[in-house]
């Protein structure tokens, strides 16, 4: 699907000139108008009426691209964003990309054809050119966390290195000295940041402490299988820091099946603070990314950009917090939530 930028490039004029010609605003020479119209026909460009809809507040659909529904974190994040959107009179168009570039392209086209007023994007497979395309069609964009690349648009990120450091420091405070890091896929920015936090915490405490990193997928089975294999190999450990709660719940199951007592023999800390983490036995210590705050901030920023078209996009960085529960310490009385 051709964009207004494609038309401008082929016609040798600016995007603003193409926009003015399409909307019959401003002046242009007859030759320029004819050239632009010829390119529009050649490229089969279809002008998007979203800009007009925005000015008249007729569009209330916000697209939300997420990487998967298999990880419990993302359905919970969707719920928080949807609640915040609904409260402000907007609806969510959910796009589950399954971390597949082909599906990302499909949903980008769908966002345009559904005349969404904005897009909130959490995906490893969205590129800066995709954001340019949406913005050129009048669709406001905001990225969350996974879309960690340099771009001029609004973004919400989480300081995962700080979160990981808090988790590992807690395990060290609880007496752990052989701490495994059950990481997400190698090379992903969120995995890299959490690995850095793990290493920083151990090195600050004692550079001579052993470090062990096991790479896995962000799901229950991968967490279970990874720790089960490690136990069967005879590797000794007394603490596990997991890159997300799904991995942690799988790791916990493997430890319990092997006869380890949690937290007496093995202490475990996850990451995300999903709902399940509160109700498993033992309840899971974890790092909260403040999903509710993230959802509210995303919708607030989108609305701000709508109301102030010339406002500078914001780069918001959230600080995660440690939530201590039974998997990492013997708690008495009320649990820390």
Least confident of 7-21, 50-64, 121-135, 136-150: 50-64
According to DSSP, the residues that pair with 283 across neighbouring strands are: none
Mean pLDDT calculated for residue range 244-263: 97
pLDDT at 113: 81
What percentage of the chain reaches a pLDDT higher than 70? 91
Q: Helices 30-43 and 4-11: crossing angle, nearest 10°?
A: 130
- Give me 281's structure tokens: 């036995």
| pLDDT at residue 170 greater than cutoff 90 | yes
pLDDT for the residue 28: 81
Residue with tokens 């609904």: 86
Neighbours of 337 (CB within 10 A): 10
The C-alpha angle 100, 300, 197, rounded to 5 degrees, equals: 60
pLDDT at 21 over 50: yes
Q: What is the mean pLDDT of the chain?
A: 90
| Helical axes 4-11 vs 128-136, angle rounded to 10° | 90
Which are the contacts of 260, defined by CB distance < 8 A and separation ≥ 6?
266
Which pLDDT does position 240 carry in this prediction? 98
> Which whole number is the average pLDDT over 311-330?
94
108 versus 336: which is more confidently predicted?
108
Question: Which residues are within 8 A (CB) of 230 and not within 5 positions of it... i.e. 6 or more apart?
Answer: 180, 214, 237
Write out the CATH class of domain 160-289. Answer: alpha beta
148: pLDDT confidence band, cut at 50, 70 and 90?
A: low
Output the six-digit token pair for 131.
């954001």
Band (56; pLDDT cuts 50, 70, 90) = very low
pLDDT value of position 54: 44
C-alpha count within 13 angstroms, C-beta hemisphere, residue 327: 31
Provide the pLDDT confidence category of residue 166 given band limits of 50, 70 and 90: very high
Provide the pLDDT for residue 336: 46
Residue 224 host element (H or E): helix 220-232
Report the CATH fold assignment for 51-158+291-319. Rossmann fold (3.40.50)
Distance CA 217, CA 226 (A): 10
Other beta carbons within 10 angstroms of residue 24's beta carbon come to: 7
Least confident among 181-195, 269-283, 321-335: 321-335
Rounded Cα distance between 242 and 214, Å, is 10
The two beta strands, 61-66 and 118-121, are parallel
Facing residues of 92 across strands? 62
- Which two three-digit tokens encode residue 222? 């991968």
Mean pLDDT check: name the lowest of 136-145, 147-156, 247-256: 147-156
Q: Is residue 127 a contact partner of residue 97, using CB atoms and an 8 Å limit? A: no
Banded pLDDT at 59 (limits 50, 70, 90): low
Instruction: Round to whole Å and give the CA distance between 291 and 283.
Output: 19
Is residue 227 within 8 Å of residue 181, measured between CB atoms? no
Supply 263's token pair.
């937290």
CA–CA dist 119, 4 (Å, integer): 18
Mean pLDDT of 123-152: 86
Cβ–Cβ under 8 Å, residues 134 and 95: no
The count of other CB atoms within 10 Å of the CB of residue 160 is 24
Q: State how far the Cα of 119 lies from the Cα of 93, in Å rounded to an integer.
A: 9
Phi first, then psi: what are they for 285, rounded to 5°? -70, 145
Residues 6+ apart with CB under 8 A from 31: none
**How many whole angstroms separate alpha carbon 153 and alpha carbon 155?**
7
Q: At residue 53, does pLDDT exceed 80?
A: no
Res 47: pLDDT: 64
pLDDT interval class at 29 (50, 70, 90): confident
Q: Which of 179, 195, 285, 168 is nearest to 235 (CA)?
A: 179
Name the packing angle between helices 128-136 and 101-113 (round to 10°).
10
Q: In this predicted structure, what is the pLDDT of residue 249?
A: 97
């Amino acid at each position: 699907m051709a964009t207004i930028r494609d038309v401008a490039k082929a016609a040798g004029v600016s995007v603003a000139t193409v926009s003015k010609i399409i909307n019959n605003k401003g002046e242009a020479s007859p030759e320029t108008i004819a050239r632009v119209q010829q390119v529009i026909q050649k490229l089969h460009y279809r002008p998007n009426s979203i800009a007009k809809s925005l000015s008249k507040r007729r569009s209330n659909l916000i697209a939300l691209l997420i990487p998967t529904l298999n990880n419990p974190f993302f359905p919970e994040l969707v719920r928080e964003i949807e609640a915040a959107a609904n409260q402000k009179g907007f609806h969510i168009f959910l796009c589950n990309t399954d971390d597949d570039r082909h599906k990302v392209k499909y949903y980008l086209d769908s966002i345009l054809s559904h005349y969404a007023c904005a897009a909130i994007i959490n995906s490893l497979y969205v590129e800066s050119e995709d954001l340019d395309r949406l913005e050129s069609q009048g669709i406001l964009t905001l990225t969350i966390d996974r879309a960690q690349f340099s771009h001029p648009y609004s973004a919400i990120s989480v300081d995962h290195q700080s979160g990981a450091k808090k988790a590992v420091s807690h395990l060290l405070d609880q007496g752990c000295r052989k701490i495994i890091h059950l990481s997400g896929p190698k090379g992903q920015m969120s995995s890299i940041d959490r690995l850095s936090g793990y290493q920083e915490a151990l090195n600050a405490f004692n550079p001579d402490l052993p470090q062990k990193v096991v790479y896995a997928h962000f799901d229950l089975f991968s967490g279970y299988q990874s720790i089960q294999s490690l136990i069967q190999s005879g590797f000794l450990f007394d603490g596990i820091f997991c890159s997300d709660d799904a991995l942690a719940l799988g790791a916990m199951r493997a430890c319990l099946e092997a006869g380890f007592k949690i937290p007496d023999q093995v202490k475990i800390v996850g990451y995300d603070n999903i709902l399940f983490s509160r109700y498993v036995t033992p309840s899971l210590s974890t790092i909260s990314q403040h999903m509710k705050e993230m959802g509210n901030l995303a919708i607030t920023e989108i609305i701000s950009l709508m109301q102030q078209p010339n406002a500078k996009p914001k780069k918001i960085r959230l600080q995660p917090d440690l939530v201590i529960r039974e998997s990492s310490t013997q708690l008495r009385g009320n649990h820390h939530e």
